[in-house]
Amino acid sequence: MLKWLWLGMLAAGLTGLAAPAAQAQGGVRRHLVYLRDKTGTPFSVAQPQAFLSARAVARRTRQGIAVLPRDLPVNPAYVAQIRSVSGSPQVVYTSRWFNAVLVSCDSATLGRIAALPIVRSATTLNRFYQAPTPSTPSVQVPAPASRTQATRAQYGPAYRQAQQIGVTAMHDAGFRGDGMHIAVFDAGFPGVDQIPAIQPVYLENRLAGTRNFVDGGTGVYQRSSHGTNCMSAIAANQSGFYVGTAPKATFHLCITEDIYSEHPVEEANWLAAAEYADSAGVDVISSSLGYTTFDAPSRSYTYADMNGRTAISTRAATMAARVGMLVVSAAGNEGDDPWHYISAPADADSIMSVGAVDSLGNRAYFSSYGPTADGRIKPTLAVMGLAAAVLAPNGAAFRGNGTSFACPIMAGMAAGFWQANPTLTAQQVIAALRSTASQANNPDNSLGYGIPNFVTAYNVLHPTAPLAAKASAAPAESLGLYPNPSGDGPLTLVLPAALRGQPLRVRVVDARGAVVLQQQLPAASGRELPLRTPRLAKGAYTCEVSAGTARQTVKFVQQ
């Protein structure tokens, strides 16, 4: 049922994968056709350069991973047989790992395909659904003027989520993801190419590829802004405004999720994206997507299916791990819902499944629980996903809830950690971060092995040249507000400890200095407090909150 794992706003010639079809998924049925073998294939494991990039081969070589028959492309002669079946079936893409072909055709044509001697089985992955509507063009917003203050100011609202896991120290040590390739799988990336904070990716030629596995082709600046939010948590790099966790990494953006329906075809898209990422030489996959319940008549999963070997996306994630990629997956947001547990592909073995905590390290109420159905501890780790800061398509920063946001924050840190320790395998990266996390000695199915920290993990591996512990010292909390940008609904204050337990005085001032709201609020014991305002005109505002002698401000935008 989860199309993407968030809960809303708070304040290159690679033959291993056929080119995506130009026709969109809407209005057609897609079927995954599994083939019996790869007999007679013209490809050979002795010549992987015919279907894998040099980066992909090098990644395997560094980790001692052999190119195996599973890596060979589908036999082209088999694909030609499928194409020749009457009914004009369209081959959308092929899967090396599953030895399968995704075809678009009607049921009668599928029956003729299934009767071919080369076919082992076939399954239908989607039904009809609504075509997408055009996305709203993004606009740029001016960046704050101050860029020369202390570390907190340099990172803007992303400071705490970075500092909590040692990313600020990682950056100070010179590890910002340089040379690491990160693939982001999501539902769309509108505005990414226009957001000022992400412009360095383009100016420095660090966008290595884009693929749209829903509509076909390479256009990704469309559809849902969820991918924009997630990518920004890694890639943004505008000192004084917002800095992500791996701002110098190279990126591959892949649309795999269709927000207009929920069927297993989206998991097949995930598989195709993972094979693209493999062949392109990607190091880290960041996926804030999850699957439990599908639209009728597709069969939904049960908790028993979360066993690491049933769901298509789970099997694909496991294969991605086996070829040496570090797969980072959001655990899910079902912790306070009847489902309760993680979703696919977070149940996959050998990947990093990420739960969510708040800025103080407490479990976020929505973060999904483990274990997997076969008893493995999940999530693997947990990072800040409650009131996490990300960017909107118009470039504005806001805070949101979801393991969706915890996932890319963690993926960026993992990329920087791997950059700092290039001789490790992907599995050793996971093991190092897991074994040094906050509850490594007492893992559970709430936060897994706990909150990781770059400094702690790095120092274990480099005892003779440790990083300074002061680099990860906890900062004082600051006032937050969401949603930001705001709309017509109520606002919520996120209170630091200094403003709790006392009556509050609140003032909201517009850009001209005029007071548009002034009120007294009762003492709050928790972190969040609703704030009702009159209808505000579009523009920039400053909210000032005082308690006793303590006073803090936060800026927000009314849209």
**Which among 404, 438, 446, 472 is annotated as catalytic?**
404
DSSP letter, residue 364: P
Cis peptide before 48 (omega within 30 of 0): no
Alpha helices per DSSP H over 449-546 = 454-461
Phi and psi, residue 181, nearest 5°: -105, 125
| Pair type for strands 381-384 and 326-330 | unpaired
Phi-psi region of 417 (alpha: psi -120 to 50; beta: other; left: phi over 0): alpha
Residue with tokens 């606009």: 139
DSSP string, 349-417: TTSEEEEEE-TTSPBPTTPPB---TTS----SEEEE-SSEEEE-TTS-EEEE-SHHHHHHHHHHHHHHH
Give the residue among 355, 59, 342, 22 at the shortest CA–CA distance from 181: 59
| Pair type for strands 284-287 and 250-255 | unpaired
C-beta of residue 459 within 8 angstroms of C-beta of residue 480: no
Sheet of strand 250-255: strand arrangement: 207-212, 250-255, 181-186, 284-287, 326-330, 352-357, 381-384
Residue with tokens 């598989």: 271
How far apart CA 5 and CA 3 sit, in angstroms, is 7
How far apart CA 5 and CA 7 sit, in angstroms, is 7
Provide the residue type at 353 as one letter. Answer: S
Phi-psi region of 387 (alpha: psi -120 to 50; beta: other; left: phi over 0): left
Residue 179 tokens read as 């040379």
| Pair type for strands 100-104 and 90-95 | antiparallel
- Could you confirm whether 404 is annotated as catalytic? yes
- Could you confirm whether 226 is annotated as catalytic? yes
How far apart CA 372 and CA 144 sit, in angstroms, is 45
Q: Report the run of H or E that residue 210 belongs to, with start and end.
A: strand 207-212
Half-sphere exposure of 361 (CA within 13 A, CB side): 13
Phi and psi, residue 287, nearest 5°: -130, 110
Residue 60 tokens read as 């395997």
| Pair type for strands 250-255 and 207-212 | parallel
Sheet of strand 491-494: strand arrangement: 480-482, 491-494, 528-531
The rounded Cα 252 to chain-centroid distance in angstroms is 12
Sheet of strand 100-104: strand arrangement: 90-95, 100-104, 30-35, 119-124
**Which among 181, 226, 252, 263 is annotated as catalytic?**
226
Residue with tokens 């076919």: 119
**Which among 53, 71, 138, 186 is annotated as catalytic?**
186
C-beta of residue 539 within 8 angstroms of C-beta of residue 511: yes
Return the bridge partners of 327, or none: 285
Provide the residue type at 168 as one letter. Answer: T
- Could you confirm whether 252 is annotated as catalytic? no
**Active site residues per annotation:** 186, 226, 404
